[in-house]
Structure 1
Amino acid sequence: MKASSLNTHMGNISIDNEVIAQYAGTVAMECFGIVGMANVSIRDGLVSLLRSDNMTKGINVELNQNKKLVLNFHVIIAYGVSISAVADNLIDSVKYKVEEFTGLEIEKINIYVEGVRVID
């Protein structure tokens, strides 16, 4: 189990990285222009849209040696929106809400745009 830990005056709090990824994915899906998380198959070179129950496969959570989080998002965005505007919105929303939720500081959020989809 990979977990991020936080030491408080009352003891140690350990948060599983899967929980952080699930919460970050939920926040990301609320952002305008995000269609979903992407699953990248390195072997086949294919990108597929993940359903909401598997969205954590498109998010990688790491705790670096400074005890700060690094989040990597593999996303599919909506056709016709500004990629930089969507990325800025995603970074701002996720950084604020995940830091508030976990109490851990985020050092970096990397966004990999894996595809574009037309939304009906």
Structure 2
Amino acid sequence: MPKTINNQYGNIMIDENVFATIAAISAMECYGLVGMASKNTTDNLVRLLKKEHLTKGVKITINDDEVNIDLFIIVQFGTKISVVADNIIGKVKYNVQQLTGVEVDKVNVYVQGVRVQKEK
């Protein structure tokens, strides 16, 4: 369901995919994030999504005046998860609000896994 903004010139409709794309790209810019994870983890297997499928790791819920964003992520081993999550929340909330003009109520971060770098 797209978000509709009414103004004096007419209506603006912003699709959920726009919010998801902005959120995914903003999150990927943060240090300590390896990538987005598939939000369908019913079989307990977490998949790291490729760049062209990043929005599959984002769930958007549109309320009357606000947007809620759920991010499913994989972090790098050795980084402090709380700091990575705080950075992602701040960056995603700021970018979505600045680029769309829609208030973001919550950004929830679900850490689906930790990626360990293999030594060479």
Same fold (TM over 0.5): yes
Q: Distance in 2 between matches of 1:98 and 1:87?
A: 16
1:113 equivalent in structure 2: 111
Q: Does 1:11 align with 2:2?
A: no
Deviations 1:61-83 (A, max 9, x none): 11113x20000000001110011
Q: Does 1:43 align with 2:39?
A: no
Matches within 5 A, 1:64-103: 64-65=63-64, 67-103=65-101
Q: Does 1:23 align with 2:27?
A: no
Greater CA deviation, 74-83 or 39-48? 39-48
Q: Distance in 2 between matches of 1:114 and 1:91?
A: 16
Instruction: List gaps (5 residues or longer) in structure 2.
Output: none
**Cα drift, residue 119 of structure 1:** 4.1
Whose strand proportion is higher, 1 or 2? 1
**Cα drift, residue 94 of structure 1:** 0.7
The share of aligned pairs that are identical, in percent, is 43
**Cα drift, residue 46 of structure 1:** 1.0
Q: Distance in 1 between matches of 2:70 and 2:102?
A: 16
TM-score (normalised: structure 2): 0.92
Contact 1:73 1:111 in 2 (8 A): yes
Aligned Cα RMSD in Å? 1.3
Q: Distance in 2 between matches of 1:40 and 1:102?
A: 24
- CA 1:103 to 1:40, structure 2 compared with 1: closer, same or farther past 3 Å? closer
Instruction: List gaps (5 residues or longer) in structure 1.
Output: none
Contact 1:59 1:74 in 2 (8 A): yes
Q: Distance in 2 between matches of 1:52 and 1:17?
A: 18
3-state SS of 1:48 partner: coil
**Cα drift, residue 89 of structure 1:** 0.4
**Cα drift, residue 103 of structure 1:** 0.5
Structure 1: 4+ residue segments shifted above 2 A: 40-43
TM-score (normalised: structure 1): 0.92
